[in-house]
Amino acid sequence: MILATAGHIDHGKTALIRALTGIDADRLPEEKRRGMTIDLGFAHAALPDGSAIGFVDVPGHERFLPNMLAGVLSIDRVLLIVAADDGPRPQTIEHLDILELIGVAEITAVVTKIDRVAPARVAAVTAEVAALLAAAGYRDSPTFAVSSHSGDGITALTRHLAESAGRAARARAATAPAGLFRMAIDRAFALPGIGLVVTGTVGAGRVTVGDRLVVGPRGIAVRVRGLHAHNHPIEGATAGERCAVNIAGSFPGGAEPRRGDWLLASEQLLAATRLDLAVRASRHAEVPLRDGLPVHLHLGTADVVGRAAVLSGRTIAPGETGFVQLDLDREIVALTGDRAVLRDHAARGVPPAGRRPDRRPMSCAPRDRAAPRGRRRAP
């Protein structure tokens, strides 16, 4: 089971992961120096039954929201973290708004830093968080009060996560991998003696050693040389699992894989510069989503600039739904059913629109061709 964090800056996301796993997810020197998460971090914890829980730690600062989106768009379970001494703050609201818009399946709320305040304050913040979750449609989400410093509440939270991981593992075991393989790449790096490695959370299908795949949107053919999960070699990975894939291929200069690309079966490669989306404007937006607005499209781990044409009228008011066609400045890989978030080009405030995966389909118009319907992503 893979979980992502969400929440305001300095509310204890990285400290909580360290308390749960013993791993410091801040890996960059700048993060160590500044004491704040800038890019995605990763950690894992072993469970008594031999399985593992993986964590994706995301930044809480508004400036690094694109990195946060790259961490949550492919994940269905999230820890929403709120500090007891600070309470819900702007990025708490913004991150929860994003989770609501993209239809994240399961949120566990964690009130941190309880060692710094009186019990009455913990109770007040817990109630405030519960009200925010209920308003966003997560009325039954559990809330845990913890201190990453003293360890209070960590055992109860760990037990809950282990039970949730067990349910997820049983559900995955009871369902055969469906559809062709695809994985949004969130990291790419080279290791001495090993070669090129890309990492991400498997979105659909199954990958095994020896598979022939492509890196999109450029369509470069690669072969899977090896697979790792939680620092151990594995033979295969399926939807919902996080893995590192050692790939071999011939990449022209400047075409090496990077965050925003996809590793996928060639049949899944549908690169487009025009997308039709069914969207719901954020209920917290200060202004409507208007026709002609320059936007950032976040899909998978990509952040692409484009312009939005509202197809259902001239605007989409806060909290309302509608249809938008995007013209993008570069190709992106997309299939019907993919989650996406739109933000205005100035990238201020909450996202003006987000796409829900259970709404009407998204179509993709490949460059220089008519606009066929996109193929539905495997569940």
The whole-angstrom separation of Cα 268 and Cα 133 is: 35
Q: Which residues have C-beta within 8 Å of that of residue 80, sequence separation ≥ 6?
A: 6, 7, 92, 95, 96, 99, 107, 108, 109, 110, 129, 133, 141
How many CA within 13 A on the CB side of residue 17?
27
On whether the 2-173 domain is CATH 3.40.50.300, my answer is yes
Class of domain 182-268: mainly beta
How far, CA to CA in Å, does 298 sit from each of 70, 98, 209, 295, 323?
8, 11, 30, 10, 17
Q: pLDDT tens-digit profile of 240-251?
A: 889 999 999 999
Asked if 308 and 289 touch (Cβ cutoff 8 Å), the reply is: yes
Separation in Å, CA 189 to CA 68, 198, 245, 246: 20, 7, 11, 10
Every domain of the chain and the residues it spans: 2-173, 182-268, 271-365
Most confident by average pLDDT, 122-131, 188-197, 254-263: 122-131
Assigned superfamily of 271-365: Translation factors (2.40.30.10)
Instruction: Choose between 328 and 40: higher pLDDT.
Output: 328
pLDDT digits (tens, 9 = 90+) for 199-246: 999 999 999 999 999 999 999 999 999 999 988 899 999 988 899 999
Q: Regarding predicted confidence, which is higher, 263 or 167?
A: 263
Tokens of 169: 């593992």
- Asked if 112 and 148 touch (Cβ cutoff 8 Å), the reply is yes
Question: Within 13 Å, how many C-alpha atoms sit on residue 87's CB side?
Answer: 9
Is this prediction's pTM over 0.85?
Answer: no
SS3 308: strand
The CA-based diameter of the chain, rounded to the nearest angstrom, is 63
Q: Are 324 and 295 in contact (CB under 8 A)?
A: no
pLDDT of residue 240: 86
Q: Cα dihedral sign for 350, 356, 360, 365?
A: positive
Report the candidate in 301, 323, 102 with the shortest Cα–Cα distance to residue 185: 301
Plot region of 358 (φ>0 → left; ψ -120 to 50 → alpha; else → beta): alpha
In angstroms, what is the C-alpha Rg of the chain? Answer: 20
**pLDDT per residue over 91-115, tens digit each?**
899 899 989 988 888 999 999 999 9
Cβ atoms of 275 and 267 closer than 8 Å: no
Q: What is the 3-state secondary structure (H, E, C) of 189-230?
A: EEECCCEEEEEEEEEECEEECCCEEEEECCCEEEEEEEEEEC
Two domains, one topology: 2-173 and 182-268: no
Tokens found for residue 151: 């360890």
pLDDT tens across 58-74, in order?
Answer: 775 565 577 778 778 87
* The pLDDT value given to residue 34: 53
Query: Strands 106-112 and 143-145, how do they pair?
Result: parallel
Task: Mean pLDDT check: name the lowest of 221-225, 283-287, 316-320, 366-370.
Answer: 366-370
Q: Shortest CA distance to 351 belongs to which of 276, 299, 273, 275?
A: 299
